[in-house]
Structure 1
Amino acid sequence: MKTILSVLTSRWFLTLVGALCLAAIVWFLGPLVAVAGAFPLEDPTIRLAVVFGILLVWALAMQWSLYRHRSANDRMVKALATAGSRADKADPDADAVGQETDQLRGGLREALEQLRKARFGGGWGQRYLYQLPWYLLIGAPGAGKTTALANSGLRFPLAPEMGRAALRNFGGTRNCDWWFTDDAVLIDTAGRYVTQDSQPTIDAKVWKNFIGLLKRHRPRQPVNGILLAVSLSDLAVWSEAERKGHAEQLKLRLKELRGQVGARVPVYVLLTKADLIAGFAEFFDDLSREEREQVWGVTFPLDDGKGKDGDAPVHRFAVEFDLLTNRIARRVLDRVHAESDIQRRSLDTLFPAQIAALKPALTDLLGVIFEPNRYESSPLLRGVYLTSGTQDGQPVDRLNELVAGSFGLDRPVLPAGSGGRSFFLTRTLRDVVFAEAGLVGLDGGMERRRRLLRGGAMLAMLLVGLGLAGFWANSFTNNAALVAGVDAAAAKAAAELEPLTTAPRSLTKVDDTDFTAIVPPLNTLRAIPAGWADPPPLEMTGGLYQGGRLGRQSGTVYDRALRTALLPRVFLRLEEQLRRERGRPEYLFQALKVYLMLAGKGPLDKALVSDWMALDWLATLPGPAYETARRDLRLHLDALLAAPLSALPSDEDLVEQARVSLTRYPLAERGFAILRDRPEIQALSDWRLVDQAGPLAGRVLIRPSGKPLSDGVPGLYTYDGFHKAVLPALPKVAKALVEENWVLGQPSSGPQALASAQTLEKGILAVYLDRYARQWDEVLGDVVIVPLRGLNQAADVLNSLSGPQSPLKLWLTAMVRETTLAPGPQDKGTAAGGPAAPVAGGPLAGVAQQAQAAEKALDASGTNAAYLARLAGVSLQPAGPPPGQPINDHFQPLRTLVQGENGAPPKLDEILKLMGDLYQQIARAANSPDQNGALLAGLSGAGGDRGAVIAQLRGLTRDLPAPIDGMVATVAQSSASVSVGGARAQINKAWQSTVLPFCKAALDNRFPMVRTSPVDVTNADFARLFAPGGMIDQFFNTNLRPFVDMTVTPWAWQKVDQVDLGIAPVVLEQFERAARIRDSLFPAGATAPKVVFEITPVELDAKATQVALDVDGQMLIYQHGPPRPQVMKWPGAEGTSSLRLGFGPPLPGEPAGLSRQGPWALFRFLADGTLETTPQPDRFTFAVTVGTRKALFAIRADSVNNPFGKNLMENFRCPTAL
């Protein structure tokens, strides 16, 4: 049965069936194929040749496939045999690694000649070496890998040619052994590649080289599966640490395999040496050969790696292992009954428990290897199987060992097993492992390319074959059904149109404008085979096409449907437009025009009707959803208009209402709209400010609206547009409007129409000139000079504005040119003061010339000039103003500004000159080494007379037209602001670089500026800062005095050029405080601080007999007598820089007095006591307390400007910025 199935599913058989089917089609259907009336396959000889060709192509394809597989097999075997290892001379282990790698190929060399020719598998399913699945057998040394293979019961077809040596070498694998079976190639690797404990570096590199070897020569599927061998005898005796270490090694090898192979390879865990579990041989002794070949283990459901961690196969192992244990436990009773030997009975009874005792160790081992985690994909565990290759060695009795260990007994010794039977291997490999050879993943990129190429080729062959056969069959079938198809389509369309053409409306039988309802039936009629505009289909042109006669009939049916379903709806839609759009005169006029055309009351413009309805459908059927319907309706309408139309009855009341509505809309406005949309007008180039104002325009001009300077004025509103396009087009537009008077029910020809055209032309011109003025007013009001924000930028802008390429002058000059429409280009050659020359075409273009010519002719003849002129339609009155004169008049102020008037120089030049002067002054200040001085000089009027220039600019604005006046005023104001701002910046820079560093270093955190500071300001530093002509005084007089109003208290800033300097008032307070310190401590221009005052003792505590005060050697003693004033100076003549105060007599437990040292000892003394002011600014009271005794003094300064006022020096702080 398997042989038959393999034959039926083989590639050669399936492709042969396809070739025979194609040959049968050619043989039986070929005579029916006609090409241009001929039947090329009618002759049996030709058909036989075609059939033979098909079979020949199949045979060649099969031979090519066989050759490819044989070549792939030879290339792989040759590569395995000849590829040498490349040693890295820098690696000390390179030679050893190379030798190991070469030895991996050594086992193949004696079999190469056989492998080049050999194919595996019998009968129809023979396969080459490359086609066989390859499995890698890994495990620790002594795990029983080789023994398991040797006793697996598989067939090794190359054993007779290669000898049995490889199969008998069970003592351990040095490198790897290659086992070739009918079903698979098994690679038995050395156990040291797993443990890597003897030569770790060499073994690890050789292991990676080996995997790379497989990947290089089998890139799609290096291996189809991994057989992971674990010895149960070792597992039973390992400690937990040994077991975990071994599991980690196995996990690492599997990870390395996955990383290099690039695919998720299924792993089959073979628990070998099950025979060394005590009781195994006795328990299974009764099994037959077929029973020994069965599978003893569990195959897990396929893990696709997408499930939850809890669904991983390793988590199911414990449950499945329990089921296996329970299964063998059910055999115990039968085995006990069958055994007569007591010891064997005991082993049979305990065997299930021996197996169950392995569960914890197995669970831990598998958990370490296959437990999934979120950081890496776990190996694909397919199953766990218990096997036995032979029954040699000392059995392990796990239960007795545990009991013996617990009670201190001797470990029992079981007799060694002997036997050569294998258990549970054959079907495990053949029916489970080999059966899942296709489960391994493939290299995704390579497989996709191969599938695409193979699929594309097969699809192309299939399509070509089917196309050739189907072409003629389809032509025959279609032509046979053509007549029936036409009849059916016509009947279907008639049924669909029936409810759409029977509504109760006179003549049209239609009362709705639902165009979407008629699209399907019209499409059906248009798409009738051989119908309207339908060329013969290619698939029906094989000599069988019968649509010629049917086409004419289909076209007639389609044309009748257009006239009865589409045309009435178009008519009704136009009526809806006439009712709805009364407020849109231009729209209403076009709708009425199209309506009257279809009603036969005007010349039919097919393009206009088609375009008008297409736009209406775009509005009423918007969006992509109706795109197909709109396209179909346009096609149907064009088909309708292609033939003569019969007029439909119009609604005369509706027409009259539309005409009345149109008479309310000035015809001149509609004429202007037509003029604006003419092609020659649309083709005019825009006037762009960026092109007219020169290359510097972008630096000095901006538009407050946010529009770029590149946004221009439409060419319609330019000098050239007016003279070269508008004036020539005016008579044409007026004539066209008059010719359309039939739409309004007015005459469109004759004298009345001519007069109407002349009047209409003037009206259109008036509308146009009004729009012209608005356009240029908008431009004039939307361009300003960029704000001036700094000295350098202001200098740059003013330089550009006043230079020879001034964007302001270029722009205004260009505007004047565009707004001076009269005289025109023809008139510029006329002598000054002469009449304007006419422009050809129209009553407006040549009025003067007509009058002059007529007058000269009549004067020469002497006839009745007035009579003849009236007859000729020529006026003998002086010519009126030229057509563009209203624009000239509107922009006359701008023209005067740019060009001057009555010989006077243009004021624009004066403005630019003043801007140039302002630029010179600001540039000098910006480039001056002493920028501060230059700015201050300019602001104060001492240098450059900048204030006068700004004042002149402001004065000019009164005589300038709007909005130029505001623009110039803004420049003046911005210049003043920039100058003041620059001055402030320079003043601040000078302050921060010259005064502030020393001020902060000398005063910060020092007395008397900080009352609690133990550090004094030195007198020299104090004098340097506050003395007359000192740093602060000199800075103020040099930089700030012109801008301060010192006549008020407190001082106030005063404006310069109507702009505030911008320094905060709190800063001015500090300078005012510095001036008060100067006046109080440096009288009469002193260079050092000094104070002269008179001190008088007023009151002495009763507990004191006297008080003595020594100020720099100046002594005052008071003993409750009459108070005597004492004049003192600070600092004193002795210069001791000290002050002492003492009370007498001394009291126990109390201080006798106090003393202060330093240049500010007097002020520290005053700060320690209580200094009070009096109504008189030069008189103070001072109380001092020492212990419990107190003294009161009266102080009188020698001037009202004295330093004894509260917080004079304490509140002073150096301003950090101005």
Structure 2
Amino acid sequence: MNFILNFLRSKAGALTGVLIIAVIILVVGPMVGIPRFWCIVVVVLLILGALIYLLVQKLLARRKAKMLEGYLATQARDDELSARPDLKDEIRALREKMEAAIRVLQRSAGGSRWKKGDALYVLPWYMIIGRPAAGKTTLVKNSGLSFPAFDSGPESTAIRGFGGTRNCDWWFTNEGIILDTAGRYTAEGGAQDQVEWNAFVGMLKKARKKAPINGLILAVGFDELLGREDVEAEARMLRGKIDELLDQLGIIFPVYLVFTKCDLLHGFVDFFGDLGKREREQVWGTTFKLYEERRLPVYKEFEDEFEHLTAALAARRNTLLGMDKNSQEKQGVYLFPQEFQEIKNRLVRFVDILFESSRFRQDPAVRGIYFTSGTQGEGTVIDAVIGKMSREMGVSAGLQEQEKSAEPKAYFIKELFQRIVLFDRNFAAPSTKAGKKSQYLRLAAIWGQLLLGVGILSAVLISFFQNQSELKKTHQAARVVRNVGANPVRDMETLMPLFRRLEKLDAWEESWSPLSLHWGLYSGQKANREARMQFLKKLRYSLLVPSHNHFAQYLSDTTRALTDLDRYSNVFTSYRMLSEKYDPAAQPSVLAQEVWEFWKSNVPVERHEEWQRMLSDQINYYWKHRADEELQDYTITPNRETVRLAEAVLKPRFGPKQFYNQLIARAGGRLPPLRVEDLVPGSQLLSGNSLSGAYTRKGWEDAVLELFEKSPEEMEKNPILKANVERSGVDIRQELKRLYREDYRTQWKNFFAGVKIGPFADLEDAVGKIAKLAGGNSELFEFLQKSLEKGELKGDDFEKQLASDFQTLSDLLSGELKGRGEKPAKDTYLEEDLPELNKRMQEGAESFKGKQNCGSALQSLVNNMSSRRDYATRGVVWDALGTKEFLQKPFEAAKEAAFGDACQCLNEIWEEKIREPFVRELAGLYPFSPSDKEASFAQMQKFLGREEGLLWFEEKEIRPAREEGMRFSAEYDSLALRAKDLYPGEAMGLAFTLEADARNFRPTSGRGVVQEAQLTLGSQSPFAYRMGVKIPWDFMWKPSDPNCELSLKVQGLRCEPKSFTGPWALFRLFDQGVTQGGSVYWDFDCGGFAYRAEYGLKGDFLQRGHFQSFKLPEKICP
């Protein structure tokens, strides 16, 4: 994996990625339709860009290498000048050696021609730190690195006393540069040593900003580590140096802990002495993964790995003891694994302190812990096992000097450098978490080089398939409209999918189509033109030709000009727009409106808004493309007689007003309308209608003024208008301005009046939203301020006239309009009046929670809010713009919110006091149900009465609310009226009239003559009709009259009377009758013959089943 990453980071990897991408483009491009020429162009540009990038990188590297070389030379000269006289010659010789080493290095650079000249910058730099005599130099000498040959032996390549620091060895090798720091910087030196160390580190950071060093090697000799009691101090001292490097260099780098002089451990030479050269070059120790979250502390991982190393030594010991060795060698072989195991605790403790983790500092990136030996026969042998036994027995073990080896050998060093240290050259990274992320991003960018080719291929394929998809959608939409006929109401929605496709294609042509459709494959222009012609052809056939014919019929009726001259003029304008060549001054909005007026009667009312918008969009699209060259003659043949007749009608009537309307329509077509959401973007509280763009400052300055100034030239082109203007004797410009002045005021007043605040769900919701309106960034005053900016004009006298309507608003916003106590009216409104309104709404909300006297509570609340409304706007004069009314809108909106709370309260009272008792006690009884069981008089009195019934509810709860403008459902209003009819006074009663006419008393089967008909109602005088003249008879039904009888006398026959008893006798009688129109009749059985008695009737309550329709709604208001 590391090999792959290193390759991808290399220039060879980058070039390989570019070549792969180039091959993909050349092979795949023609397969998906990209011309080969453009594929070659892209590949050439890609390769050229890659070469330029590499060249720039090369030049930058060489420049930085020169800077490094100059910096080092300067430091060397400064060192020479500051040296003692007796050392100057030595220092000069060292400097000359250093310069020679750099020259040789620049020439060789490891055999790479690319690196020649910039080796100092390109090669990795490693630092070795450790105490004096820790074996640092021995490590480098035995590293297997190749030194540039400019003098005999590798020793000559170490330039001592150079680089701004004393006693520092610079090892220049073809694989990298190794800084062998002076051991005194690792030991606890003085202040001067610390200053020199900081300067040395600063030089590294300045010379190589991106990666001052590529790795740090900690050299710790066994003689120092195992011969000292305070290993903790040694570990903390080295950790301090690591932390200083991390802080000062600002990067995180691999750290290699190398234990040197392992040969001082008793038995080392005996144990490993038989290893061949290749085996001695291998690595002995443990290597950790970099930049991965550790599951265990470093010391714990090392402790585990140490056990594996010890186990491997024990296994090898068994093999060695079987070989032919003398007793002393066998003793060494036997004891060495034990000696190694014995020092475990000391080493683990050392590693624990050295690499202790802390959240308050950057943890080192520990790459590995290794054991080495560079030479043998120097120093005192460390016998941990014998020493421990001696200490336990209380005797002195004595120290044994190691015998000088005849041929010193390097153990476990070469592959440590070759396979691990140098291989990790690219793992230095910024020391912060963000830096780690940026490293991952860089790695991602490297992978991106390989993925770029796949990306380009994907883009081309996506472009191909998306183009195919877009073409397919366009063709499908075009196929659908082939069957469109001459009925736009039926076919309008059929045209819409194609229209929306054309809108999208037009937008792509006017701006920029999506990138995913390009890559040399976009063919939307051709498809757009073909589909457009088909759409316009169908639109002309199905909509424009029928509309044109309708316009001709409309214009033929000249009386229409007498009732609505503006409409007649607009229809004539629309007729000419369809009949004549394209006129850029014409306004498609006029044509769209007149076409809609023609067709809207055929569209369901609930879809008017939707269809008008669809039709307007299609007319605008049609007119936009009438300017296209292929559509210049796309006209409908006019009826010359219709044109002549319309011109004759308009000639004496088409004056400045009609001309003004045309100019304003033209100006409004140039600018978008001004909407409430444009003035207060994202507002959830303010909404309303739009204002034509012609009535804004921009509209005046950019459109209307220009049209008015050119109006004389326009008038010259219209003989009818010219003659009428000259006849009236007005100046056309001044007349247009006068009309504009009137409309400007009216349009802005209507715009302000149409603004709505809310809606509010209830008073609690209103309190929160009104508080927002009273806040620091009040949307209410933001709207007013933006309106002032959009509407107020400042200039000549005419513009000042237009601006005069905004004077009150301007004074209010500027603070010149004073409120109470000389405080600006705006401040008193926001800081006092709206908060007071909120306070009163909160009190009102509480009053509705009692479920009683809701109507009175509403009346009181509304009166309080109204008085505060008048008080709040008392200082604002009534102006033409409606500023005062606008400031009253929050109060009116609050009133509507109060209606909502009152409605909920009244609905609850209605349910509890009226509806629920009715359903429970009366709904199943007669007369409310066709039942034998009847409601008693007391029950009806209670239900309808003024003490606790329906009339009580109407008078006590509803009437106060009605007086404040609250509206109730039609069902409830009808019910209340019927209740009043049944309860006209203090008691129940019902007035009705019967009208008797002899012609309506007749046999239906029989020949006898009806002599008399009589209706008896309780104790009232009976109505006896003896077939004379028509007689009306007034009755008053009361529950106290419990009986009712209707009888009929027929000559020679006996008729069965219709008799009923009880308080509802009259209603049961009429339930047996048949009511039709304004009369009621009954059929009688008279000795086997049928006779009919029919009366004229005035009184809805007596119609059959009338009370059974007496249903109480669940809610009396929305």
How high is the TM-score relative to the length of structure 1? 0.41
* Greater Rg over alpha carbons, structure: 1
How high is the TM-score relative to the length of structure 2? 0.44
